[in-house]
Structure 1
Amino acid sequence: MDRLFGWNVRGLNKTSKQREVMRMISNKRIGFVSLLETRVKTSNMGSLYLNMFKGWCFTSNLTHHPNGRIVVAWNPYSFDVDIRGSSSQWMHFLVSIKNGDQFAITVVYAFNDMKGRESLWADLEKLGYEINCPWIVMGDFNSVLSPSDRLPHCGNGSELVPFQTCVEHCRLVDVKFSGSFFTWNNKQAGKDRVYAKLDRVLANDSWMEKYISAEVIFFREGEMDHSPFLVNFGSVQENRKPFRYFNFWSNLAGFQRAVAESWNEDVKGTPMFCLVSKLKRLRVELKKINKEGKGAVFVQEAKKFKLMLEIQEKIQADPSNI
């Protein structure tokens, strides 16, 4: 079964961020995507769809808020999705899987002020009262459930009560998770750094019983300030990566020679057989060039990015030691 994915991307107008999200979708066998704080205006939504989700189904909550707060897309070959409701802070769906199973998903992107979140908690409690099927609630709640979900710890425990009460009334619990515990940080240096578990995946008893082996993975945030998360329904065999041609290959040493030698080598058979055979042979050569070229062209960037992720992992393990 394809997976569910969520990420507060803090702006999705830049093509670099779009490519990063697309890379995750391609590599992780994702069929349902929720993107938060996109900041994509109505006039640019069409371009976003064509750049990232062509052939998929696509919706947003722009009718409730002008700043492109929530964008949701899904692969129609993986899920049938019925939009059941939305507001400025949530979107609610009934999802049907091709095997006949159904469950509800609520995607949340809460306001960052306590007063503004009051309507969210009320809406979620109303949904929880009406739902009679497996239900998963995921996203950025802009609030923590306990003092230990934030470093430095929360000074005023009363700020936690509305979220705690909502979760209790809806009978939701955290889906088992691994990876980064703190899902957000303010990217400040030293003692000014703040960590919090703002992003969560919650589910009711019915969902937990149906998908007993489900697990959420919170990845390191990289250059973003929020961690992306992936919902696995169970053990899934990874697909083989499809072959893709990259334009930068033509600038790599040996590209022209490899293409010419591979293409000019004689092949016997029908014209179509010859064409397919040459393409298959060329594919092998291009993969070799790609492997060698990436090492030569991108080695410094890769080392820096790897170092950044290693540092983030150490910080997650001991966030008080900055």
Structure 2
Amino acid sequence: MKIATWNVRGVGNARFCLNVQDLINAYGSDILVILEPRISGNHAEHVIGQVKLPRHFRVDPIGLSNGTWVLWDDRKCNVDVVWAIKQSVTMIIKVHSSSQSTSWLFSAIYASPILHKRMHLWTHLKNVASEFNMPWLVMGDFNELLHTMDKLGGCPLIASHVHAFNDCLNHCGLFDLATNGPYCIWTNKNWDWRRHITEKLDKAFINSE
């Protein structure tokens, strides 16, 4: 079972569907999460229909903010969405296998860049942890930092923000998954070294189940 998340910051580019299909082909993604699509309604349905994953669930953006699409191959798994808010879609994944069928919880995250809204997300995740007792993957764009090494350049980390995020993870029993490839992948795209900032905002966590 392979899952990919991609913060596209808008799917208006004419090459979007080709790029998505390249991603699916390259990594064999069975579930694909698109964050910040910035389109909704019939336009969203038209674009989703061009992606070669037969099933989907979407939370539309508010203007140009938020928005989450979850697309999946129903030959590989069943996806049952159990809790959806603007910053998170939580679903039970049942994987099809010739030998057995396994179920686990998956929360796709697009955390708000606004602090008080992120605090609502941390509370929501604590509620999810209290409601379900099963293997849990939490993955996406958290718009928050955990360690000093998660940021290069710019202002230092704000301790109270880091503490609130850590408190949520500890309450939920979530552990950071190791990553491959570039560590900090978000950038402010200012290539003047005095103003250049890179951050690790995309993360994945699992519980001990």
**TM-score, structure 1 normalization:** 0.60
Greater helix share, structure number: 1
Greater C-alpha Rg: 1
Asked if residue 83 in structure 1 is aligned to residue 99 in structure 2, the reply is no
Amino acid in structure 2 at the alignment position of 1:111 = S
Q: CA deviation at 1:66?
A: 5.1
Amino acid in structure 2 at the alignment position of 1:41 = S
Query: 3-state SS of the aligned residue for 2:144?
Result: coil
Amino acid in structure 1 at the alignment position of 2:76 = S
- Residue 192 of structure 1: which of 191, 195, 201 is its match? 195
For the Cα contact (< 8 Å) 2:33–2:70, is it kept in 1? yes
For the Cα contact (< 8 Å) 2:8–2:35, is it kept in 1? yes
Query: 3-state SS of the aligned residue for 2:10?
Result: coil
Alignment of 1:103-182 (within 5 A): 103-152=104-153, 154-182=156-184
Query: 3-state SS of the aligned residue for 2:94?
Result: strand
RMSD: 1.5
Query: 3-state SS of the aligned residue for 1:169?
Result: helix
Amino acid in structure 2 at the alignment position of 1:194 = I
Greater strand share, structure number: 2
Q: Deviations over 1:83-133 (max 9, x none)?
A: 101001000000000120111000000100111111100000110122211
Query: 3-state SS of the aligned residue for 1:192?
Result: coil
Structure 1: 4+ residue segments shifted above 4 A:
none
Alignment partners' CA distance in 1, 2:49 and 2:41: 14
Q: CA deviation at 1:147?
A: 2.0
Alignment partners' CA distance in 1, 2:184 and 2:200: 4
Query: 3-state SS of the aligned residue for 1:30?
Result: coil
Alignment partners' CA distance in 2, 1:177 and 1:60: 27
Alignment partners' CA distance in 1, 2:140 and 2:78: 21
Q: CA deviation at 1:20?
A: 1.2
For the Cα contact (< 8 Å) 1:183–1:196, is it kept in 2? yes
Amino acid in structure 2 at the alignment position of 1:24 = L
Alignment partners' CA distance in 1, 2:126 and 2:157: 27
Q: Percent of aligned positions with the same letter in both sequences? A: 24
**TM-score, structure 2 normalization:** 0.92
Asked if residue 61 in structure 1 is aligned to residue 59 in structure 2, the reply is yes
Gaps of 5+ in 1: 207-322
For the Cα contact (< 8 Å) 1:41–1:66, is it kept in 2? no
Alignment partners' CA distance in 2, 1:155 and 1:177: 21
Amino acid in structure 2 at the alignment position of 1:175 = L
Amino acid in structure 1 at the alignment position of 2:25 = S
Asked if residue 6 in structure 1 is aligned to residue 5 in structure 2, the reply is yes
Amino acid in structure 2 at the alignment position of 1:26 = N
Q: CA deviation at 1:155?
A: 4.4
Alignment partners' CA distance in 2, 1:21 and 1:151: 29
Q: CA deviation at 1:160?
A: 1.2
| Structure 1 residue aligned with 2:204 | 201
CA, structure 1 residues 147+13, in 2 after alignment: closer, same or farther (shift >3 Å)?
A: same
Asked if residue 37 in structure 1 is aligned to residue 36 in structure 2, the reply is yes
